[in-house]
Structure 1
Amino acid sequence: MKSYLYLFILIFVPMQFWAQSNKLQFKTTHGSFKVMLYDFTPKHKELILDAIRNDVYKNALFNRVIENFVVQGGEHDDDIALREKDLPTNEHYRLPAEFDSRVFHKMGALGAGRDDNPQKASFLNQIYFVVGKSVSVDDLDTIEQKKGIKFTKEQRETYFSKGGLPRLDGDYTVFGEVSEGFDVLLKISKLKTNEKDAPLQPVSFEIIEINE
């Protein structure tokens, strides 16, 4: 219920000028890494900051791990579907998408999970990190033609040099990126999983705000 209150506050309270460079530390059972939140996506930034301050991610798990794709954690799709099963659609609370050409699905990008709602709005308590793969010119050209989008010069150069998941651009909100310790995520992404992509050994995490 707390999360729903935060959602309404974020949507209807007038925008403010948020402080620059909010940073987080993720402490996992396989090591720690740091994340920088984007000011370009203020509502998603404030959502996760509020969640951290109110222990929403306390004892959280990375519960969907796919090598060369994503490491996903927080509330699982199945749990969300079960919780919302008997609720009317207008009570399936989501955070409206925030798309910005400066943020995209490069390696280490932090995104918000969602279902197939037509507004592409985000779940309140589900996040993922991109541990994608190499990207070619043909890959980007094909995606542009299929989705009717145009990648910027910066996006193309970053995808070619670092890789990522460009096919998710414009469909899922990206609101941060790993600034240190990406090797920890890569290690997690290679763990053995079951048929539902859940690690055979639970991977827990906690998130703290840091000041540098």
Structure 2
Amino acid sequence: MERTYASGVPDDPGRFRILFVCTGNICRSAMAERLALAALGPGSPILVGSAGTRAAEGQPMSERARVELLRLGGDPSGFAARPLTAEAVAGADLVLGATREHRAAAVALCPVAARHAFTIAEFGALARAVPTGRVPEDGDPAARARVLLEEVRALRGLVRVDRPDIADPYGGSRRAYREAARVIADSLAVLPRPLGPVPAP
């Protein structure tokens, strides 16, 4: 499967780009990228990609991450890690870090991204707090994603997020990977429809 996110692409109102960030880009952000792709389906105007603050270019997804991804209906084939760059951050409409540290690292590379950078769990929690009816339930997914982002941005600091970080499962148990995958899947369930449901953990 080809990675659909392209960094540094000029602004296009018909597209909405999400960049997931973690450390090695082989566990949390890798699962997030492929779970989002599975939910969005082919041809979606919402494009996704991922990168790692300490990623080794071309490294495959970790085996336990692959197992969890497959269990949730994602496709790990063809995945290759890539390092986080300022260009990738600048090309994203929404930056979602696995932890606050990853969010900060992305913003350090491109300070203007601070307005649209969150942790994955933080974004999910804030999006679930958006009042019903504030985001259209039908229409263009990219346009709806932009509305959702504006609503989430307005709630930052007003809604408490108890657990904004997703613990790194690397080198840990299957349970650790399953928990990370569960939080990611729950958080991505807020993405605008019609995307199809993110498979239940």
- Which category of TM-score, normalised to the shorter sequence, fits these structures? under 0.3
> Whose strand fraction is larger, Structure 1's or Structure 2's?
1
Structure whose alpha-carbon radius of gyration is higher: 1
TM-score scaled by structure 2?
Answer: 0.26
TM-score (norm: length of structure 1): 0.26
| Greater share of helix | 2
